[in-house]
């Protein structure tokens, strides 16, 4: 069902069985340079084409996010990393095998073709394969990585209900995918694999213990 609120279009989508035509409509907005709100896993996020520097800049402006803070992106399959990162270290492969799709964001060395505003000049990119059916379907339909930063003004709390989204956010969006209430809670665990060993940058839904067990237990088994 599609509901129009002022000039903002809201798509009501089944969170478990999203209709292809609705997801394709939202993906087309992204492909055309738009910015949408959509369910990630625990909170609603802001989705834009990660390769479109103007769209990425809109995300920063909508969130009032400092430009020295990079945005993470979502992909729908590990192969898409070839478009984003310089290399996939051993540790990243083991983490992906164990936790993707899921609540782990992996920070890689970014390819130089990525928009500088996306990486905030850090030469690194955080990537996650989402578990939520709508987020995964949207990423697939968009045919490329999309941003997934939380749909809130920087410094404020994220929202687990689309209806609770700040008007300062919604007034600047092109579309909202509303799936009802999300479960809230902790976001993804962020793991940097650009060094000699993985480093936890943010503790989230997956524990540090489980991350390191996934990496080093398999390494021991290969001996």
Domain boundaries, the chain: 2-86+105-184
Work out the percent of the chain whose per-residue pLDDT is above 70. 94
Rounded to an integer, what distance in angstroms lies between the CA atom of residue 163 and that of residue 181? Answer: 9
Check residue 184 and report its DSSP letter. -
CATH superfamily of the domain spanning 2-86+105-184:
DHBP synthase (3.90.870.10)
Q: Model confidence over 73-96: pLDDT tens digits?
A: 999 999 999 999 999 999 999 999
Predicted pLDDT at 5: 44
Predicted pLDDT at 223: 37
Measured between alpha carbons, how far apart are the two ends of the chain, in Å?
55
Predicted pLDDT at 41: 87
Rounded to an integer, what distance in angstroms lies between the CA atom of residue 194 and that of residue 15? Answer: 34
pLDDT interval class at 221 (50, 70, 90): very low
Write phi, then psi, for 105 (nearest 5 degrees). Answer: -100, 130
pLDDT interval class at 3 (50, 70, 90): very low
Q: Model confidence over 18-73: pLDDT tens digits?
A: 999 999 999 999 999 999 999 998 899 999 999 999 999 999 999 999 999 999 99
Residue predicted with more confidence, 86 or 8: 86
Of 170, 180, 74, 83, residue with least CA distance to 127: 74
Rounded to an integer, what distance in angstroms lies between the CA atom of residue 107 and that of residue 194? Answer: 7
Work out the percent of the chain whose per-residue pLDDT is above 90. 89
Of 176, 170, 169, 171, residue with least CA distance to 153: 169
∠13-18-20 over CA atoms, to 5°? 115
């Amino acid at each position: 069902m599609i509901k129009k609120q002022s000039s903002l279009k809201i798509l009501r989508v089944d969170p478990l069985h999203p209709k292809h035509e609705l997801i394709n409509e939202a993906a087309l907005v992204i492909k055309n340079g738009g910015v949408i709100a959509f369910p990630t896993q625990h909170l609603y996020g802001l989705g834009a084409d990660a390769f479109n520097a103007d769209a990425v800049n809109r995300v920063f402006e909508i969130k009032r996010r400092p430009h020295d803070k990079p945005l993470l992106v979502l992909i729908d399959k590990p192969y898409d990393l070839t478009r984003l990162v310089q290399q996939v270290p051993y540790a990243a492969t083991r983490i992906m095998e164990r936790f993707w799709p899921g609540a782990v964001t992996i920070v890689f060395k970014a390819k130089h073709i990525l928009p500088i505003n996306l990486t905030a000049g850090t030469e690194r990119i955080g990537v996650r394969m989402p578990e939520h059916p709508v987020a995964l379907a949207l990423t697939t339909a968009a045919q490329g990585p999309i941003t997934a930063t939380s749909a809130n003004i920087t410094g404020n709390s994220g929202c687990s209900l689309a209806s609770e989204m700040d008007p300062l956010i919604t007034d600047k969006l092109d579309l909202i995918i509303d799936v009802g209430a999300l479960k809230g809670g902790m976001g993804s665990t962020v793991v940097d694999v650009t060094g000699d060993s993985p480093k936890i940058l943010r503790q989230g839904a997956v524990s540090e213990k489980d991350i390191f067990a996934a990496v080093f237990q398999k390494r021991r088994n290969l001996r």
